[in-house]
Structure 1
């Protein structure tokens, strides 16, 4: 008796997904993040520009030269801080785009594989609307112990980072504080202040370093490399409740339609 393949990761398709991901990361670094490689020099230039634009205002009989140089230095510091913040926002934007693309590609693959052996809008829509943990439950029903992998932790952290970046305060921020506080910068850490510790940083303290960004990227690649090539019907003993209900709802709807 043959064993039907329910989900299949075609080798060329797997390679294509990984190639597209690498392209996104490489081009994001080249075209966007590279603009912030030397913000110290940019800040020094901003200070010089301030002096050039304000030198006509200098009156040696009434102004102290030190005051002008101090004001120029302040302008340079402000420019540096603004650029630094823009760099962090840019990296967070790139991280969000990277995660959302992976999430959409995963759900699209699941839906297309399901449509080979099942038809019905309820299941398709439920896969698209299921939350991260529900999708993980479905993958684990394959016999794939995804939650035991190191890359799952990075993907989960990335999900929470992206949610906090998009929504600010909320459950994702609470979960991020509790499970992955390393993505929340604590500006008062080490100062002895009573307002320091894991419960104080909020969404404005969200930060992803270059090393952490690379970790997210590596996790996505590791995930695609680990997707089982074939998932046979005999491997799936129990499906998540949400998935089983969606399948049954489609089947009941088809039976009802056939009776008409």
Structure 2
């Protein structure tokens, strides 16, 4: 275990824990656009900057990639940190001025305008979509191409991909809604129709069948789940804090001695209080 302090609050974490994870465990909010607990840390957006003091010197560092060290002192809201984040937000706001997510975070830091010439971009090059496709889907359909100001996220040769499954995970995880898998997926993107809504609306692969379902718990559609089709993904397991997802679970019949079952299919509420045989 490693002992450190965050905003003068002592905390003990497992070896290998990042500063961002340690702060989140304490309930300390650190903004980020490129981090996801199911993916490897990247440090691309630079929003999670914090001030670190290891006893030798103080410096600004990204919290998502810096691992906790014994005796490390972390400050997340000093004047130096806030100023650095505001500069980063100005850069992001200049690159993607129409992004609602960037506008929201920038407003929290009092940044509503940028001194930098605005561009007409939507992608902030955070790499979430690239890592999701490679690390979780096992496909690597998209990746970074070119360098500097020409850097972008594209499929190989910037052409339609027959490898893309059309799962839409890249679009789901994108913080700025920049990536459009329908632009490069040769199979096309088809949302799963909601049976409860008679196909009018979509539903996710993990969902509750209908609002009144008993038990009212989510289930996994094995026919469309990436894990059950390819053995990859497991994103739901990685993000579930309750550790409630069991991908090896099999259907089972359970006999319950309930004594009586009341079926009330009508629209008027039924009160069984006056029926003594029901207890």
User: What's the TM-score once normalised by structure 1's chain length?
Assistant: 0.22
Question: Which one has the bigger helix percentage?
Answer: 1
Higher fraction of strand: 2
Higher relative contact order (CA 8 A, sep 6+): 1
The structure number with the bigger radius of gyration is 1
TM-score by length of 2: 0.21
